[in-house]
A = this chain, B = another copy of it.
Amino acid sequence: MPPSPSAQVISHAGNRTGRVDAESVRCLICTVREHNLCSSIEDQDVGVLAQATRQLSLPPGTTVIEEGTAASAFFNVISGTVKLFKSLPDGRRQITGFADAGQFVGLSNSRTYSFGAETVDTVLLCRCTHAQIENLLAEYPRFARNLLTAVTHELTDAQEQMLLLGRKTAREKVASFLLDRIKQYHRTHPHDPDAETTASVPMTRVDIADYLGLTIETVSRTISALRRDKIISGTENHCIRILSIPNLQDIAYGLKSI
């Protein structure tokens, strides 16, 4: 349920002086505020948030964070998908996750980023410096609590991905990936009647391969095999229709050798 910025809502909101400036409105009408960290800050304090952040729109393939550079900013994804990755000196790359609308990117303990980030498609971001994040953490205990929950959630996802990378076969990996993509599509398109059986795959085969610890050829072959086995369909490469979710789940968890 995207928050509709009715006149009534706006009349209650504003920065600390009680005035509603243009910046605050940007946050008040934000389509993901209800679903991300910003929800920890009440409408009346939203001016603080608006002042702390800058919004930017980036084309596909743009570097958001360069691995190893000074860590200074934090980003909220408003729309689109960002990929996070780590690389080896010889160029081998592992994508550690995709951040979709409502997720954040750029937390770091050390002085430099230990990972890189790049847009997959056109992405709308909210940028915030680490210093400003520290202010919000100190000022709003709920913000700190929510960030902790969010990072804990990311850690849980990372553990699931380690299981996938270390112990699943190519077929199980691709099935797990498609299930994740269905869930993601369902979250971002709750009104689509086909949401149950649709997977949005905006990333290229290269990205999928680097995410699953495979080569593009193996990803391609495995997707073709799933299509041959009537588990998925759709000629479009970036929108896949799932014919049997139970089958896909069985494959993802190693319950089906087929």
Chain A residues close to B by CB (< 8 Å) = 84, 86-90, 92-94, 96, 107-110, 114-115, 137-138, 141, 144-145, 147-149, 151-156, 158-163, 165-168, 210, 212-213, 253-255
Contact = CB atoms under 8 A, between A and B. Distances in A.
Contact of A151 (B88, B89, B151, B166): B151
Copies in the complex: 2
Contact of A159 (B93, B156, B158, B160): B158
Task: Tell which of A90, A149, A156, A166 has the most Cβ of chain B within 10 Å.
Answer: A166
Given A89-B255, A138-B141, A254-B90, A161 B162 contact: yes
Contacts of A96: 158-159, 162-163
Q: Is the contact region of chain A dominated by helix, strand, or loop, or is it mixed?
A: helix
A255 B86 CA distance: 16
A114 B158 CA distance: 12
Given A86-B163, A158-B158, 14 more contacts: A86-B160, A88-B163, A88-B254, A89-B254, A89-B255, A90-B255, A94-B166, A114-B156, A114-B159, A148-B151, A154-B155, A155-B158, A165-B166, A166-B210
